[in-house]
Amino acid sequence: MTEKDFIPNAKHYTDRLHIIEDGHFTWSSPSNIALVKYWGKKEHQIPENPSISFTLNHCKTITTLSFSKKENDDQFSFDVFLDDDKKDDFKPKIETFFKRIEIYMPFLKAFHFKIETSNTFPHSSGIASSASGMSALALCLMSIEKSIITSNTTLNSVERSFDNNYFIQKASFLARLGSGSACRSLEGDLVVWGEHEKIKGSSNLFGTKYPFEVHKNFKNYQDTILLVDKGEKQVSSTVGHNLMFGHPFAKERFKQAHNNLSSIIDILKTGDLKAFIKIVESEALTLHAMMMTSMPYFILMKPNTLEIINKIWAYREKTNSNVCFTLDAGANVHVLYPEDEANQVLDFIKEELVVYCQNDHYISDKIGLGAKLL
């Protein structure tokens, strides 16, 4: 597949676009947490290295996209609401997204859109909503594309059929153009994004379901998110990615991500939890090491992030538990553990880790199945 394969055939649109007046679609789409991290991208949101993530189950964005035909089609027109509040400060990001995807979605300027969105986690929790938000919006847009094409009676039945694979692939392709990691938020429960020699079908353009055997140790894997700092990040992911240009360790880092993904394929198959921990924690610390060694340098971890990491290491030493941590581009800690250790680890979290969370706030989640049309 290339980018061109996502540019629709004009004749699939022309007739129906005049007939479809309005409608709405609602999708719920989850957040995801990377095991091997994406950090560094080329132009057009192409990742410098492949990544793999667990799709989450409870942390989701629910978006309703309503559309109505408008008079002139010379510019984008939309309003955005978060929990019923009009959010004009969200508009520039969505405008940029619309500009990037317009060539793949030629109907965008024909409609006025109302985007109503809500998260199952608090917006101010420091949990990034861009992955779940952009994937939910991309899915709603694909539902419009599908309704236009499948209702076009002037097409033959083959042209009119809308393959489910194509739907998900293009939604992931579009979500990527909104926010890179969003392309891994459509399906469950493990998703790969970025070309990797051992994963046939892996692509830089969209996420694909992890295709290999996964040991029962990883079924229903648990993720408790410790909200260490709910404030706005000082450095956005986009700025951080850009600092990988000319970064002194970039080349080695990208190579390491390829190798770690190769190792994780074996680990996921054999169920080797100790080896899993090593890769996952090393990836998290490497991500932050890249931030600390870029120019300008920055630190997103907070003192309590380190307190939690040390507590997890001490607990593991004492109990031989398989609990481990990972981090995204912020101070919050994702505590990962197998389902059969859930009771003990939750006790440990409540007794020893919650004190390091802002307002004792944490969110219990686990690996999930992906986005849903509501």
- Interface residues toward ligand DP6, by CB under 6 A: 34, 37-39, 45, 51, 128, 130, 179-181, 237-238, 241, 287, 328-329
Reading the block at residue 7, the tokens are 């540019």
Nearest-CB residue for ligand DP6: 180
Q: How far apart are CA 309 and CA 361, in angstroms?
A: 17
Contact 305, 327 (CB under 8 A): yes
**Minimum distance from residue 22 beta carbon to ligand DP6 (Å):** 31
Give the C-alpha separation, 336 to 274, whole Å. 12
Contact 55, 369 (CB under 8 A): yes
- Tell me whether residue 37 or residue 311 sits nearer to ligand DP6 (CB atom): 37
User: Residue 318: exposed, middle, or buried by beta-carbon count in 10 A (0-12, 13-18, 19+)?
Assistant: exposed
If the CB atoms of residues 141 and 329 are measured against ligand DP6, the closer one turns out to be 329
- Choice between 45 and 169, CB closer to ligand DP6: 45
**Smallest separation, CB 293 to ligand DP6 (Å):** 15
Write the CB contacts of 169 (distance below 8 Å, at least 6 apart in sequence): 1, 206
Q: Of the two residues 45 and 125, which places its CB atom closer to ligand DP6 in the complex?
A: 45
The owner of tokens 């560094």 is 40
C-alpha pair distances (Å), 234 with each of 45, 59, 96, 200, 340: 22, 23, 21, 38, 37
Nearer to ligand DP6, 46 or 346 (CB): 46
Q: Closest approach of Cβ 177 to ligand DP6, in Å?
A: 9
> How many whole angstroms separate alpha carbon 115 and alpha carbon 341?
40
For the bound state, the minimum distance from the C-beta of residue 1 to ligand DP6, rounded and expressed in Å, comes to 20
In whole angstroms, the minimum distance from the beta carbon of 49 to ligand DP6 comes to 10
Q: C-alpha angle 274/280/282, rounded to 5°?
A: 100
Q: Supply the minimum distance, in Å, between the C-beta of residue 198 and ligand DP6.
A: 19
Q: Which amino acid is at 91?
A: K
Shorter beta-carbon distance to ligand DP6: residue 239 or 354: 239
The encoded tokens of residue 324 equal: 């481990």
Cα radius of gyration (the chain): 21
C-beta of 20 vs 139, nearer to ligand DP6: 139
Q: How far is the CB of 369 from ligand DP6 (least distance, A)?
A: 19
Nearer to ligand DP6 (CB atom), residue 34 or residue 144:
34
User: Would strands 111-119 and 77-82 be described as parallel, antiparallel, or unpaired?
Assistant: parallel
Residues 121, 59 contacting (CB under 8 angstroms): yes
Rounded least distance, CB 178 to ligand DP6, Å: 7
